[in-house]
Amino acid sequence: MASFSYFEGHMRNVSNIFRKFPLELVFWLGAIVGIFLIDPYGPQHFSLCPLSNLGFDWCPGCGLGRSMSLLTKGDIQASWSMHPLAMFAFAAIGYRIYQLIKLIKTSNHYG
């Protein structure tokens, strides 16, 4: 019985660590790093778009990542022509990152 109690207490500690872990913040920071690493001038790119993977030629979200990458390179005109919402998306992600960091700094626990 002592080993079960130890296991239960250990799992509770692991659960508390994951509950306090800022997973959303890590996701958005990873997305920003990925946007900086994309080569928007390359001929081929990896796509997570389900419509593109199903063979559809048009999708309202396609090109957003490459457009944001063009924005980081300073090519504003090309960014706008690829997807006009790139600046808004960048601002929204930046604001969300700011909110999450502020939440972590002002509270003892995340979530």
User: What integer is the mean pLDDT of 82-87?
Assistant: 92
* Pairwise CA distance, residues 72 & 66, whole Å: 10
What's the one-letter identity of residue 28?
Answer: W
Residue 108: what pLDDT? Answer: 62
Q: What is the pTM of this model?
A: 0.71
For the chain, give the longest Cα–Cα distance: 68
8 A C-beta contact, residue 28 and residue 44: no
Across the chain, what does the average pLDDT equal? 82
Q: What is the dihedral of CA 52, 69, 95, 100, to 10 degrees?
A: 80
Give residue 68's pLDDT band: very low, low, confident or very high (50, 70, 90): very high
The distance of Cα 51 from the centroid of its chain, to the nearest Å, equals 20
At 56, is the secondary structure helix, strand, or coil? coil
